[in-house]
Amino acid sequence: MDATHRRDASGPAFDASVQDDAASESLDAAQSPDAPDARAPPPDAAPWLDAATGLDAGGDPDVGGAVDAGACAPLPDPMGGASTVDLFAQIGAASVVNSAWEPLPNYTATGSTDYEHGGYGLGQSSDQFADGTHAGPRTFYLLPPSNPSDFIKIFFPSQSLAPAAAYVFSSKIGIRHVPGSTALGVSVHVVVSADPDVAGEPSWVELAQYSLAKTDTRQLEVPLGLWPLRANFKLAIQISCVGNNYYDVVLLDGASLRPVQPRAALGVNQPNLMWDSGGVPVMQRRVDQMASVGAMQLRLALRGVGVMSPTLAIIKRANERGMKVLLNVLHEAEDFVDPLGATANGGAEFNALCGWPNGNFRLSAVDLPRYRARLTAYVDAIRAQGLTVDAYEIGNEYDWVCFNGDIPLTGGAPDQSFNATAARYAEILRASYEIIHRPGDCRPPAVVTFGPANTIHFRPSNSIDPVRFFTYLRNVNGVDYLARYADVIGEHIYSSEATNTADLRAAAQAVPAGKPFWVTEWGVPLSAASTGYPRYAAMKAVLSLMSSLPDVRIENSFLYAFEDAQWGVYDTSRDTPLFEARIFSDYRVPAR
Q: Contact, 200 vs 165, CB < 8 A?
A: no
Q: Summarize pLDDT for 200-230 with one digit per residue, the tens.
A: 999 999 999 999 998 899 999 999 999 999 9
Alpha carbons 405 and 424: distance in angstroms, whole number: 13
Q: What is the structure's pLDDT at 527?
A: 86
Q: Who's near 411: CB < 8 A, 6+ residues apart?
A: none
Q: Pick from 533, 521, 530: which is nearest to 493 by CA?
A: 521
Which three-class secondary structure state does DSSP give residue 90? Answer: helix
The yes-or-no verdict on residue 68 having pLDDT over 90 is no
More confident residue, 259 or 73: 259
Alpha carbons 4 and 1: distance in angstroms, whole number: 9
Which three-class secondary structure state does DSSP give residue 186? Answer: strand
Percent of the chain with pLDDT over 90: 74
Q: What is the structure's pLDDT at 29?
A: 30
Residue 5: CB atoms within 10 Å: 12
Q: Contact, 409 vs 345, CB < 8 A?
A: yes
Q: What is the structure's pLDDT at 411?
A: 67
Q: What is the structure's pLDDT at 96?
A: 98
Alpha carbons 94 and 237: distance in angstroms, whole number: 11
Q: What is the structure's pLDDT at 46?
A: 32
Q: Contact, 361 vs 422, CB < 8 A?
A: no
Residue 338: CB atoms within 10 Å: 13
Instruction: Identify the band that residue 34 occupies on the pLDDT scale cut at 50, 70 and 90.
Output: very low
More confident residue, 277 or 118: 118
Q: Summarize pLDDT for 369-388 with one digit per residue, the tens.
A: 999 999 999 999 999 999 99
List the 95-97 sheet strands across, edge first. 95-97, 152-155, 234-241, 186-193, 204-212
* Phi/psi of residue 26, nearest 5 degrees: -65, -35
Q: Contact, 557 vs 490, CB < 8 A?
A: no
Q: Contact, 323 vs 558, CB < 8 A?
A: no
Q: What is the structure's pLDDT at 306?
A: 83
Q: Pick from 35, 36, 15, 41: which is nearest to 27 by CA?
A: 15
Q: What is the structure's pLDDT at 412?
A: 66
Instruction: Identify the band that residue 131 occupies on the pLDDT scale cut at 50, 70 and 90.
Output: confident
Q: Pick from 377, 369, 395, 362: which is nearest to 520 by CA?
A: 395
Alpha carbons 40 and 28: distance in angstroms, whole number: 11
Residue 322: CB atoms within 10 Å: 9
Mean pLDDT of 436-446: 92
Q: Which three-class secondary structure string do you get for 373-411?
A: HHHHHHHHHHHHCCCCCCEEEEEECCCEHHHCCCCCCCC
**Full-model pTM:** 0.86
Name the amino acid, one letter, at 269. N
Alpha carbons 243 and 186: distance in angstroms, whole number: 8
Mean pLDDT of 413-428: 87
In order of their start, the domains of the chain are 85-262 (2.60.120.260), 266-586 (3.20.20.80)
Instruction: Identify the band that residue 65 occupies on the pLDDT scale cut at 50, 70 and 90.
Output: very low
Q: What is the structure's pLDDT at 405?
A: 96
Alpha carbons 552 and 548: distance in angstroms, whole number: 9
Alpha carbons 270 and 522: distance in angstroms, whole number: 12
* Half-sphere exposure at residue 231, Cβ-oriented, CA atoms within 13 angstroms: 5
Instruction: Identify the band that residue 417 occupies on the pLDDT scale cut at 50, 70 and 90.
Output: confident
User: Could you tell me what percentage of the chain is helix, strand and coil, using 3-state DSSP and rounding each to the nearest 5?
Assistant: 30, 25, 50
Q: Contact, 265 vs 555, CB < 8 A?
A: yes
Q: What is the mean pLDDT of the chain?
A: 87
146 burial level (CB within 10 Å; 0-12, 13-18, 19+): middle
Instruction: Identify the band that residue 182 occupies on the pLDDT scale cut at 50, 70 and 90.
Output: confident
The yes-or-no verdict on residue 84 having pLDDT over 50 is yes
Q: What is the structure's pLDDT at 592?
A: 81
Instruction: Identify the band that residue 344 occupies on the pLDDT scale cut at 50, 70 and 90.
Output: very high
The yes-or-no verdict on residue 287 having pLDDT over 50 is yes
Q: What is the structure's pLDDT at 180?
A: 75
Q: What is the structure's pLDDT at 276?
A: 80
Percent of the chain with pLDDT over 70: 87
Instruction: Identify the band that residue 516 occupies on the pLDDT scale cut at 50, 70 and 90.
Output: very high
Instruction: Identify the band that residue 150 occupies on the pLDDT scale cut at 50, 70 and 90.
Output: very high
Report in angstroms the alpha-carbon separations of 173 from 64, 118, 140, 193, 246: 49, 18, 10, 22, 17
Report in angstroms the alpha-carbon separations of 561 from 13, 267, 287: 20, 10, 13
The yes-or-no verdict on residue 167 having pLDDT over 90 is yes
Q: Summarize pLDDT for 346-373 with one digit per residue, the tens.
A: 999 999 999 999 999 999 999 999 999 9
